[in-house]
Amino acid sequence: MSQTIKLNLGCGPVQPKGWVNVDGSIRAKIASKLNWLDNLLVKLRLFPETEFNKETRVLNLLRPLPFPNDSVSAIYAGELWEHLKLSDAVKLTAECFRVLQAGGVIRLVVPDGIDFWSKYLAIFNEEVKLPIEERSSTRLSNHTAMFFRDICTERVLLKSVGHFHKWQYDEIQLSDQLRKAGFVDVARCKFHESRIDDVDLVERSDFLIVEGVKPGKPK
């Protein structure tokens, strides 16, 4: 396949060379479009250091991707999909299919809902065995908050947007989303094992990883 554009969607601080690193956060916008102001605010210690820079491509991924059909060879999205409403994720998957060339690869990494709910169930099963007056909801609510609340509150002001998780995936849901959009050879993958040769540059999290391919012969 000819080397064309590779998109790293929802890049956050992960911005290697050779990839178009896309993010929609306010901080990405300031660091990219008003780089002098961002540098000044960092110097004055009003902003924390950031990896966002002039090269960061600022896009709201809830909108159509500004790339022509069949123009992209690979798409990576690490810990982005769970920040989108399910309907928005379905739309973005269709957009990814449109911009990828035949033979192009999409790779999605999300926290695994099965791990999350298994732990929840384990805590519940411990609590429910206790006499009613000794049961406490604290561990269950703390666990729930890990996914739905703390993700937002732990972030530094202006560092990022879209912190709340809006959906939770498992292997079946995520694979099905890709297949329904038209992708083939959809399968769960191991960390850093990919059809994308320099995936190690963008992949930081060993969570649930699913990859698919746009069908057809590469030009």
Ligand X SMILES: C[S@@+](CC[C@H](N)C(=O)[O-])C[C@H]1O[C@@H](n2cnc3c(N)ncnc32)[C@H](O)[C@@H]1O
Calpha distance 200→207 (Å, rounded)? 14
**Among 90, 170, 204, 207, which residue sits at the site for ligand X (rule: CB under 6 A)?**
204
95 touches ligand X by CB under 6 A: no
Cβ closest to ligand X, residue 139 vs residue 149: 149
Q: How far is CA 208 from CA 1, 32, 63, 157, 198, in A?
A: 27, 31, 25, 28, 19
122 touches ligand X by CB under 6 A: no
Give me 110's structure tokens. Answer: 């999300």
* Segment contacting ligand X by CB under 6 A, of 5-13, 34-42, 96-104, 110-118: 5-13
Cβ closest to ligand X, residue 59 vs residue 178: 59
* Segment contacting ligand X by CB under 6 A, of 78-86, 95-103, 127-135, 206-214: 78-86
110 touches ligand X by CB under 6 A: no
198 touches ligand X by CB under 6 A: no
Closest to 21 measured CA to CA, from 69, 78, 99: 78
Calpha distance 112→90 (Å, rounded)? 18
DSSP 8-state code for residue 192: T
191 near 209, Cβ under 8 Å?
yes
111 touches ligand X by CB under 6 A: no
Using CB under 6 A, list all residues that contact ligand X. Answer: 10-12, 14, 23-25, 59-62, 78-80, 83, 160-162, 204-205
